[in-house]
Amino acid sequence: MTTGTSPGHVFLSYVREDERRVGRLQHLLEAADLPVWRDTDNLWPGQDWKLEISKAIGRGSFAFIVCFSEHSAARDKSYQNEELVLAAEQMRLRRPGKPWLIPVRFAEVDVPHFSLGAGRMLSDLQGVDLVGDNWESGAVRLTTAIKMMLAA
């Protein structure tokens, strides 16, 4: 466990109902020597959680992974939507074509048609499926993609 916002990390965005799946994803990333920023590990009692999440997204995140499932699809409201707004702001600051935001699906659901600005949509980004038998191959593709992003 680390305190505050560590520089150079993968930020995980998800809804609470997917905590177990996200734990598996976090373990996978950390086993690949990729540091992870996750609210349950990096937020401490008394911290302003909205401020810390904003800092974690905006400073030092070399990848932003947004997880979708039947649980996120069923929600009309979630803080994950706010995290996506912050991620979209970061995307506007980054050079077009440079990967940073990666959609991950834990279930056969559509990636939301969410605007990233300048005509770019979240649903246009290539994602990774961590669904059923695709978990292992998707996990390899995800960790490889993040390592390629770091090397670039």
Q: In the structure, what pLDDT confidence band is assigned to residue 28 with cuts at 50, 70 and 90? A: very high
Across-strand partners of 67? 104
Cα-based distances in Å from 7 to 29, 63, 103, 139: 16, 12, 22, 23
Average pLDDT value over all residues in the chain: 90
Q: Which tokens go with 22? A: 């996200």
47 belongs to a structural domain: yes
Largest pairwise CA distance in the chain: 41
Residue 65 vs residue 134, higher pLDDT:
65
Reduced to 3 states (helix: H, G, I; strand: E, B; else coil), residue 107 is coil
Number of domains in the chain: 1
Q: What is the CATH number of the domain that holds 132?
A: 3.40.50.10140
Please give the single-letter amino acid code of residue 33: D
Domain hosting residue 67, numbered range: 9-151
2 belongs to a structural domain: no
pTM for this prediction = 0.90
129 belongs to a structural domain: yes
Please give the single-letter amino acid code of residue 139: A
4 belongs to a structural domain: no
17 belongs to a structural domain: yes
- Are residues 48 and 1 in contact, defined by beta-carbon separation less than 8 angstroms? no
Mean pLDDT of 69-88: 94
- Please give the helix or strand (H or E) that residue 89 lies within, else none: helix 79-93
110 belongs to a structural domain: yes
Helices (H) and strands (E) in the chain, counts: 6, 7
